[in-house]
Amino acid sequence: MKELSIDGAWVLEPRILRDSRGSFHEWFKADAFAEHLGYNLTLAQANCSVSARGTLRGVHFADVPPGQAKYVKCLHGAVLDVIVDIRVGSPTFGQWEAVRLDDVDHRAVYLSEGLGHAFMALTDDATVVYLCSEGYAPRREHGIDPLDPELGIEWPDIVPLLSDKDAAAPSLAEARASGLLPSYAACRSHLDELRAAATHP
């Protein structure tokens, strides 16, 4: 696991064993997560999405606490996965980082509670799985316009296909003005509580 430029985000670059039969790699190890995060990753829900080329999902996030941490991997095809720092007060607020996830290099990304998440499918039938720390709760789920010029995410030159909900999502500035965004302090406090609980169960 390697830390990305945004605090609370990592990329996993697995060692892949290949031979004439195919390949094998480990894409999740609990002890590696505990070592880097300071607590065990709780799994409350696992999701799978299949997307046509150009499908753009996000930017999605959940209220903190409890938020929703995600561990994301592309099983088939390829996507451009984007992590956005939407935590008010964060040193990297408004910044984003992109990682290509595909079925060749088998990278995966982990984003902590409070970070925004989006991806664009680069191929047809791009199949993405997410391990989530909390289950889906509509009242706590929010979105930001992934095409917001203020964010300036550099999406591939593909006509984006958005859901009606994502297309109607507010800009980063609008979400901040309405009080939708989590605070960096609240996110840090939540993670400190998880680490303390792991140290003194």
| pLDDT tens per residue, range 14-67 | 999 999 999 999 999 999 888 888 888 889 999 999 999 999 999 999 999 999
Q: Catalytic residue at 190?
A: no
Q: Which of 36, 39, 60, 71 is catalytic?
A: 60
Homologous superfamily, domain 2-199: Jelly Rolls (2.60.120.10)
Is the separation of the CB atoms in 117 and 61 below 8 Å?
A: yes
pTM of the predicted structure, to 2 decimals: 0.95
**Rounded (10°) CA dihedral 89, 91, 93, 98:** -150
Q: Catalytic residue at 184?
A: no
pLDDT in tens, 158-175: 999 999 999 999 999 999
Is the separation of the CB atoms in 55 and 161 below 8 Å?
A: yes
User: Domain residues of the chain, as ranges?
Assistant: 2-199
Q: Which of 36, 39, 76, 130 is catalytic?
A: 130
Q: What is the rounded distance in angstroms from the CA atom of residue 185 to the CA atom of residue 144?
A: 20
**Which amino acid appears at position 29 of this protein?**
K
Q: What is the rounded distance in angstroms from the CA atom of residue 152 to the CA atom of residue 146?
A: 9
